Amino acid sequence: MKTIDDFNFKNKRALIRVDFNVPVDKDGKVGDANRIEAAKPTIEKILKDGGSVVLMSHLGRPENNESKYSLEQIVGKVSEVLGVDVKFVNNCVGEVAEKAANNLKPGEVLLLENLRYHKEETEGDSDFAKQLSKLGDIYVNDAFGTAHRAHASTTVVAKYFEDKCFGYLLQKEIESLNKVLKSAEKPVTAILGGAKVSSKITVIENILGKVDHLIIGGGMAFTFIKARGGNVGSSLIEEDKQELALEILAKAEKMGVEIHLPIDSVIADSFSELANTNITPIDNIPDGWMGLDAGPKTIESFSNVIAKSKTILWNGPIGVFEMDAFSKGTIELGKAIGQATKNGAFSLVGGGDSVSAVKKFGLEDQMSYVSTGGGAMLEMLEGKSLPGIEAISGE
């Protein structure tokens, strides 16, 4: 299979699928540029060859083309990271996008508007993918974070290109995660938190065969607690996943996997830094209150499991770490992983917000490997082949 080094991009236009799904605050400021920095080597190689670059990405999960998901907000940050004045076009397909792409000179970079402003992207629509394919001569997929999605820009578009390859980031992630898969030392502990309950709960089921301990925290935990009959107030939960949660608990027990759920929670009476807070048992959250961080007993119990693990996989913050009042659980968990790593464990953390949290709290250097993928990393660790990888490698 051809790698990016087999291509010379001189006078060629590369259409690169990147994952610039980065945290952006309400003022449009990029909270963490890790995913942009991670794509830089690929973009630099193409520009150095004398080519031009069209970048396409999604941001968030827009439903009605909300402006808070516009990629225009990140043009300044992308320009700063690349050291190039990046151009922007307010659509990713059609005449305006084609014109902007055709006008690119060698050394120039164009960022397209959010792919998910067109529902055809997530539907994997062939006509839409064909329209995207008109924007470049060579297709490069460097979006590891989105490689588990069979979308138009990550998968379908590849069939319209003779010349296609992975970027450096995607290649590095595949190699590193394959190494972990082959040589994971036991006990293996996976920590799953965050907020994407419906898209990651099935991952939990599939990862059971690979781990000895599974810590379920953050917003992910409440569906399990409620399914077991607990009161979770207005915490994040997925009503229709409660049965699956019970099945997962039963399956784990059968397989001898120890599941660790939170014991207590820092609760708040609104989703706000200024909310009134309290600490309650995880299954006794009053109506109108929500669990937004791990409580002290939970932190202690999770830290004890981490201390005895030899391989630690982490995706999903265990509290709303963006607000100081609810960041303690994620900080302490990160510190416990850092300590275990110092003591010889291998630690792997991945995900847009997870990596942003680790960086925010200065814990990045304490992890053995930091992946740009959250869901993608988990699916790869499950042993699944990812559609974005298959579309290029044919495997």
Amino acid 343 reads N
Residue 213's H or E segment, with its range, is strand 213-216
Pick from 64, 78, 77: which is nearest to 29 by CA? Answer: 77
Chosen from ligand ATP, ligand 3PG, none, partner binding at 19 (C-beta under 5 to 8 Å by type): ligand 3PG
Between CA 184 and CA 190, with CA 187 as vertex, the angle to 5 degrees is 80
> In angstroms, what is the minimal distance from the CB of 140 to ligand 3PG?
17
Query: Has 196 been annotated as catalytic?
Result: yes
Residue 374 interacting with ligand 3PG (CB under 6 A): yes
C-beta closer to ligand ATP: residue 58 or 164: 58
Residue 146 interacting with ligand 3PG (CB under 6 A): yes
**Active-site residue identified among 196, 226, 328, 360:** 196
- Print the SS3 string covering 117-143: HCHHHHHCCHHHHHHHHCCCCEEEECC
Residue numbers 44-63 binding ligand ATP by CB under 6 A? none
Query: Has 35 been annotated as catalytic?
Result: yes
Residue numbers 8-47 binding ligand ATP by CB under 6 A? none
Say if CB 373 and CB 351 are below 8 A apart. Answer: yes
Tell me how far apart the alpha carbons of residues 290 and 391 are, in angstroms, rounded to a whole number.
Answer: 42
Residue 352 interacting with ligand 3PG (CB under 6 A): yes
Query: Has 241 been annotated as catalytic?
Result: no
Answer for which of 124, 233, 351, 388 binds ligand ATP (CB under 6 A) is: 351
**Of 142-150, 217-225, 317-325, 385-393, which segment contacts ligand 3PG by CB under 6 A?**
142-150
HSE, side-chain direction, 13 A CA sphere, residue 349: 29
Instruction: Tell me: is residue 20 an annotated ligand-binding position.
Output: yes
Binding characters for ligand ATP, 81-120, by CB under 6 A (x = yes): ----------------------------------------
C-beta closer to ligand 3PG: residue 305 or 389: 389
Instruction: Tell me: is residue 324 an annotated ligand-binding position.
Output: no
Residue numbers 142-161 binding ligand ATP by CB under 6 A? 145
Say which residues have a Cβ less than 8 Å from residue 29's Cβ, sequence separation at least 6. Answer: none
Query: Has 233 been annotated as catalytic?
Result: no
Residue numbers 54-73 binding ligand 3PG by CB under 6 A? 61
Residue 233 interacting with ligand ATP (CB under 6 A): no
- Print the SS3 string covering 179-199: HHHHHCCCCEEEEECCCCHHH
SS3 265: strand
Sign of CA dihedral 126, 117, 37, 207: negative
Nearest residue to ligand 3PG by CB is 21
**Active-site residue identified among 219, 295, 352, 374:** 352
Binding characters for ligand ATP, 352-381, by CB under 6 A (x = yes): xxx-------------------xx------
Tokens read off for 296: 């002290």
Amino acid 332 reads E
Buried b (16+ CB within 10 A) or exposed e, 276-311: eeeebebbebeeebbbbbbbeebbebbbebbeebbb
Residue 375 interacting with ligand 3PG (CB under 6 A): yes
Chosen from ligand ATP, ligand 3PG, none, partner binding at 236 (C-beta under 5 to 8 Å by type): ligand ATP
Say if CB 165 and CB 190 are below 8 A apart. Answer: no
Question: In whole angstroms, how far apart are CA 7 and each of 90, 111, 167, 289?
Answer: 29, 22, 11, 56
Q: Cα 3 vs. chain centroid, distance in angstroms?
A: 24
SS3 305: helix
Q: Which one-letter DSSP state was computed for residue 319?
A: S
Residues comprising the binding site?
A: 19-21, 35, 58-61, 116, 149, 200, 291, 322, 351-354
- Return residues touching ligand 3PG (CB under 6 A): 19, 21, 61, 145-146, 149, 199, 352, 374-375
- Return residues touching ligand ATP (CB under 6 A): 145, 193-196, 218-219, 236, 291-292, 315-317, 319-320, 322, 351-354, 374-375
Where in the sequence numbering do the catalytic residues fall?
35, 196, 352, 375
